[in-house]
Amino acid sequence: MKLPVLEDLGEVRGKTVLVRTDFNVPMVGPDDARTITDDFRIRAALPTIHWLTERGARVVCASHLGRPKGIANPKYSMAPVRARLAELAPGVELVENLRFSPGEEGNDAEFVERLVQGMDLYVNDAFGAAHRAHGSIVGPPRTLRSAAGRLIEHEVSVLSGLRNSPKRPFVAVLGGAKVSDKLGVIETLVGMVDQLLIGGGMCFTFLAAQGHPIGDSLCERDQVDHCAALLAKYPTILLPEDIIGLDADGVYATFGRRLPAGAKGMDIGPGTAAAFTDVIMDARTVLWNGPMGVFEDARFAKGTRTVAQAMADSKAFTVVGGGDSAAAMAEFGLADEVNHVSTGGGASLEYLEFGDLPGLHALREAPR
């Protein structure tokens, strides 16, 4: 069934529309005086909000912020977000943090009933939360005529293109800490792409599967056999050939694939970064999700920065799968140099793995 979009809502003039947004923005400062450091997620919702308000709808936004664990906490108040939203979209309302109630994450029926009270229509534009079966995501479509907002519509269009009709060669670059966090998408992508480049902390589990000593580097021993099976089946998996890290005395060092006892790998090495760049530059479609190292530490940011620059320089269709990769692109000033930066790291990977998300399924099943 086709995903309903804004035009499928019918007449919206005079209607009250609940818009589930993802205003989970980064903030700094004391708990009672938080300041937004990046309003990208607020601005990303504006096309949907403006479409509705320009057609005479009253818009009420709802979002989560942080992890307050079902308890009202001033640190996670929506007040700073509400103030910024008032500047960008005057007259648009914003309810308090959905996760102040345990009913949000618990998908409680009474919580959903209170949330939709007085609402005529529902729009989900929170792609970053669409992979979670939370109350505000899957609850309102049970009773309200519903649609995807412009942000979700675009995310699905881009990611569907990657799943169904990528231009080839199609290359995926995966990083991050744990194989277990991305095992499903690894298994899906490795059968879909022409080459899969693996960096980040997860590469050490793969290197261990090849029999290389990895010192004290991060390794999921219970995943080694699984990684070995993937490497045996798919020669298209490319692993690092050199590593940047710390030796047993905590001194910055460069290693090959074999790390001595006590050493810790923290980033891909320059040879690997160059090899990954060559593959990216020869591709026609590139997906990147997960940093190549601990890029928050300048000593171990070169691998991630090199991959980010290759994404920016590539003439391929380039997609950054949200999360830390998106943060890295923004930090390096390269976010505008790729074709698409997803607003949902976990959601984008889950969509690539399964081709659907709980929030999208709920929209398709909503009353017409």
Query: What is the DSSP secondary structure assignment for residue 259, as one 8-state letter?
Result: B
Query: Residue 107 has which token pair?
Result: 């998908």
Query: Is residue 259 within 8 Å of residue 245, measured between CB atoms?
Result: yes
Enclosing H/E stretch for 163: helix 150-164
Spell out where the chain has E strands: 16-20, 27-28, 35-36, 58-62, 93-94, 121-124, 145-148, 170-174, 195-198, 237-238, 243-246, 252-255, 264-268, 285-289, 317-320, 340-341
Check residue 66 and give left, alpha or beta (phi > 0: left; psi -120 to 50: alpha).
left
298: Cα separation from own chain's centroid: 23
Query: Is residue 65 within 8 Å of residue 41, measured between CB atoms?
Result: no
My answer on whether omega of the bond before 47 falls inside 30° of 0, hence cis, is no
- Show which residues are catalytic: 41, 178, 323, 346
- Expressed in angstroms, the distance from the first to the final Cα of the chain is 12
Query: Is residue 345 within 8 Å of residue 354, measured between CB atoms?
Result: no
51: Cα separation from own chain's centroid: 25
